[in-house]
Structure 1
């Protein structure tokens, strides 16, 4: 599922990933970051399976940036971020 509304809703939001020390805290760089799913290699997950992430946190979860953060902590951050992002989307009336 692709949704322009869900992708555009990320603009100006706070990063929900907050991967210290990488998070830049700049809402101007926040986009909808797709989390991995069953979609397969080189295929994006549905837009509802994404989180609001700043450019630096996005680089970490997509593997473009090396990190010392343990994988389990990154996975926990993704799960928390998914809950926070979907709560914001629900509050905006974008999902039910």
Structure 2
């Protein structure tokens, strides 16, 4: 089962980049997209789950996807995922059954 949501993907529009790679990030919310992170469900022509994604500006997204040179600090991605999920939860787009 693949988790795919147009609402999740569209939610990135106008958001701050949660990745913020030093020396790479353009800090421009107008370029932010929901960038899928590498996981078992990702491959050539195949995106991972929309829940395994972060808000990324175009510059950070290009590095994550390998279209641009740069170093991804993968140990920082849980923070970026948490910030993205927090934004999605606060906006009511992502909900957790039974959460208070």
TM-score by length of 1: 0.89
Greater per-residue helix proportion: 1
Mapped pair 1:90 → 2:89: yes
Deviation, structure 1 residue 7: 0.6
Cα RMSD of the aligned pairs, angstroms, is: 1.2
Q: What's 1:23 paired with?
A: 25
Match of 2:47 among 44, 47, 57: 44
Question: Based on CA coordinates, which of the two structures has the bigger radius of gyration?
Answer: 2
Gaps of 5+ in 1: none
CA distance, structure 1, for counterparts of residue 24 and residue 42 of structure 2: 27
TM-score by length of 2: 0.86
Distance 1:40 1:23, change over 3 A: closer
Gaps of 5+ in 2: 96-100
Match of 2:36 among 16, 29, 34: 34
